[in-house]
Amino acid sequence: MALLQISEPGQSPDPHQRRRAVGIDLGTTNSLVATVNGALTQTLPDSSGESLLPSVVHFGQDRVSVGRAARDMLAEDSANTIASAKRLMGRGMADAEGLPYDFVPSPESGLPMFVTRAGAISPVQVSAEILNVLRQRAEESLGGDLNGVVITVPAYFDESQRQATKEAASLAGLKVMRLLNEPTAAAVAYGLDKAEEGTIAVYDLGGGTFDISILHLHKGVFEVLSTGGDSSLGGDDFDEAIAEWVVESAGIAPSRDERRQLLALARQVKEVLTERDSVELDFNGWCAELSRVQFEALIEPLVSRTLRSVKRALRDANLQRDDIDNVVLVGGSTRVPAVREALETLFGKPPLSSVDPDKVVAIGAAIQADILVGNKPDSDVLLLDVIPLSLGLETMGGLNEKIIHRNTTIPVARAQEFTTYKDGQTAMMIHVVQGEREMVADNRSLGRFELRGIPPMVAGAAHVRVTFQVDADGLLSVSATELTSGVEASIVVKPSYGLSDAEIANMIKASFAFAAEDKDARALREMQVEAQRMKESVSAALQVDGHLLSAQEKRDIHVALEDLQAVADQSDEHAIKVHIDRVAHLTESFAARRMNASIKQALAGHNVNEFE
Amino acid sequence: MFQQNYFALFDLPVQFSVDRKALSLAFRAKQSAHHPDKFTHADASAQRESLQASAFINEAYQTLSNPTRRAAYLLELAEGQVRKEHTMRPDADFLMQQITWREQLEDALDVEAIDCLIDDVNKLLPVVEADFVSAYQQGDFEHAHHCVDKMQFIYKLVAEAESKESRLLDE
């Protein structure tokens, strides 16, 4: 007889059965997938043994290709071959300007979409294609569906960019357990999270981007102290420098095709010079020798630029060079000896380089995925990340009132109370902002929503509590509640760049409030509720403090209340509003007198000096 | 757990001086038990609960780690739920001192001058903290609030001075 096996959802009944988890480095130039296999963490290769999947997607006549096959189409069919889509994740039309593609704004979100022969394709969809290939590769290699993945993102990625990354993953059918900061993943790959305490510089020089992050680790809590870099500086610029040298030395004016050949040659030269002191090169019959010393002189201005960013990041973190305990190298371009030597000179210690710099981020992500999926129940490693940018609200005068400051450990929930600034104000626009600057206009707008149905009160009497909640992935949801009436509204932040303010407001209103057809019914209902509230509160006040009014004033208010009662059950929203406003107007001075009276009462029996 | 005050949460005495090591250890232990990473396979309600608990623990830790916030929190506990709006008479001497420092910061043209100012301002911090502790212990909450304001001002000024310094270094 078979005994019934009972297990928690998602928990395996057999403790020895490993769950399938992978870490994914979704890069600008290349992407990788890695997994923990026993004591070994390794990247998973494709059928030809290649781990690196170029982050390029080609939309062909009848099929979509991803990776090297797609990259080979870049020159031939550039309009339908999308590279570096990561740069546009969660970004707006303005960010798409200058890129060599045609864009149209998405009809739903206004975000840029690539115009291809397969139709308009969003950067999220492009990333999903890449993730899909990695998912298939992992499933084949691990022999079944994945239980969960960890995907890495740059530390400076904001809300919208993180949200877009998660959307791409869910399009690709992946269950994301965590978005992990790339520098944190690199530090994990070196086991630096096991140290008691330390300060780590992660130097990430990829093909086209440079990032520097200063992390502080304290008992498993990773804090990003500062980030910096240059989004248009990378190993490709080293190739350019060599190509430029050839063009000048040979005195040639290469055609576009020749230029491409030349760059490919330059890349080989660069790679050979990592191992050797000099290299013979032959470009269409023009021969020369390039020594490593010459090469280093060519790229010196580029390396110096990265070092300036490093120094600035140190200053932002309030640190000196010798405060750094470890330097971690990420990105293929850190193989160039001149880069390593420059870092060793700067920090006075050799950078960590035992893990392949192309794979280190994916490997760190895999280690974390293995823990999160539950394969290491005894692990006491806990990575606590921080938010990279402050989150706040727009307040009067266009000021950014920060609710959660940058570098706050997540998850975090924080509430702040606001109030109305006009008498009888029944709605409040909540504008959520990300960034460090004082003025809202200088920061990023994440979204707006409206809290409606606040009962009319004198200015400053309503208590609107706005709560920000950031989950462990750094994703934000905002809710607002008026405390005396309990009315609520909330949003989850979604990418919304490139839209006008009005469009954003409309979009969010439409999405969180109600469907268009019952919009009017809802507004009427809200108005009726408001009328009821008004009647009750004024009647109650009359009962308690009626003596503060003259007989005429009392009569006027009574008449207005009766009129309000008469329209309240009808379905004319506008008429109800007019009568609510009339009652509010008539009772304005009554409210002021009541407040004065209650203050006098509170003061009675106290010596005035007590309050000075 | 959410009813506990932050000191009780971490098994610490309710007082201004904090054993940083004990705080940090207790924080780690609490997060290890409640962080969402430990609940990736639990049901939705357990995940939600873990998110709230973890956020609460973070808030408690950050409040107690920061001297100004810790001091303000002590006063909040001492004065109970109903917080009075404090329309206090400003400390005139300190107001003058603030103005002087602000002018010094504006006039400072090089890194050395700013460093000097930062040192000066920082020197005052332990004095203000000691003042807070004695006012708090004697139940003179109005004076204690003054001290919190001073601490806040000092931290803010130092931060501004440092950011000016880093602008100068960038030029």
pLDDT tens column, A132-184: 999 999 999 999 999 999 999 998 888 889 989 999 999 999 999 999 999 99
Q: Give the residue with greater pLDDT, A12 vs B86.
A: B86
Q: What is the pLDDT of residue B162?
A: 83
Residue A251 reports pLDDT greater than 50 = yes
CB contact under 8 A, A318 and B162: yes
Q: Which of the 8 DSSP states describes residue A219?
A: T
**Which residues from B are below 8 Å from A383, CB to CB?**
37
pLDDT above 90: percentage of residues in chain A:
42
Yes or no: say if A407 and A225 are a contact pair by the CB < 8 Å rule.
Answer: yes
Separation in Å, CA of A10 to nearest CA in chain B: 6
Separation in Å, CA of A381 to nearest CA in chain B: 8
Summarised one tens digit per residue, pLDDT across range A274-304 is 999 999 999 888 999 999 999 999 999 999 9
> What does the block give as tokens for B143?
């004076």
**Which residues from B are below 8 Å from A472, CB to CB?**
35-37, 51, 54
Residue A119 reports pLDDT greater than 60 = yes
Stretch A200-212: mean pLDDT? 93
Q: What is the pTM of this model?
A: 0.74
How large is the angle between the packed helices A256-275 and A292-316, nearest 10 degrees?
80
CB contact under 8 A, B59 and A413: yes
Mean pLDDT across chain A: 84
**Which residues from A are below 8 Å from B37, CB to CB?**
178, 371-372, 382-383, 472
Q: What is the pLDDT of residue A612?
A: 34
Separation in Å, CA of A96 to nearest CA in chain B: 29
Stretch B9-14: mean pLDDT? 96
- Residue B19: partners with Cβ closer than 8 Å, 6 or more residues away: B12
Instruction: For A106-145, give the DSSP string.
Output: -TTT--EEEEETTEEE-HHHHHHHHHHHHHHHHHHHHTS-
CB contact under 8 A, B58 and A412: yes
Q: Give the residue with greater pLDDT, B170 vs A610.
A: B170
Q: What is the pLDDT of residue A44?
A: 97
Determine which of A17-26, A542-551, A587-596, B108-117 has the lowest per-residue pLDDT on average: A587-596
Separation in Å, CA of A471 to nearest CA in chain B: 7
Chain A from 159 to 178: CB within 8 A of any B CB: 177-178
Q: What is the pLDDT of residue A132?
A: 96
Active site residues of A: 25, 86, 182, 204
Provide the pLDDT confidence category of residue A440 given band limits of 50, 70 and 90. Answer: confident
- Residue A188: partners with Cβ closer than 8 Å, 6 or more residues away: A364, A365, A367, A368, A383
> What does the block give as tokens for B76?
């909040």
Q: Which of B25, B43, B55 sits opposite A412 (nearest CB)?
A: B55
Q: What is the pLDDT of residue B166?
A: 75
By C-alpha distance, the chain A residue nearest B36 is: A472
Q: What's the CA angle centered on B75, arms B71 and B79, to 5 degrees?
A: 175
pLDDT above 70: percentage of residues in chain A:
89
**Which residues from A are below 8 Å from B169, CB to CB?**
315
Yes or no: say if A219 and B28 are a contact pair by the CB < 8 Å rule.
Answer: yes
Yes or no: say if A446 and A496 are a contact pair by the CB < 8 Å rule.
Answer: yes
Q: What is the pLDDT of residue A134?
A: 97
Summarised one tens digit per residue, pLDDT across range A31-52 is 999 999 988 999 999 999 999 9
CB contact under 8 A, B166 and A316: yes
Summarised one tens digit per residue, pLDDT across range B87-106 is 566 677 888 888 888 898 98
With b for 16 or more beta-carbon neighbours within 10 A and e for fewer, the A526-546 pattern comes to bbbebbebbbebbeebbeeee
> What does the block give as tokens for A352?
């960590």
Q: Which of B32, B36, B170 sits opposite A472 (nearest CB)?
A: B36
φ/ψ of A378, rounded to 5, equals -90, -5
Q: Which of B25, B31, B89 sits opposite A384 (nearest CB)?
A: B31
Provide the pLDDT confidence category of residue B61 given band limits of 50, 70 and 90. Answer: very high
**Which residues from A are below 8 Å from B41, CB to CB?**
8-11, 373-374
Residue A522 reports pLDDT greater than 70 = no
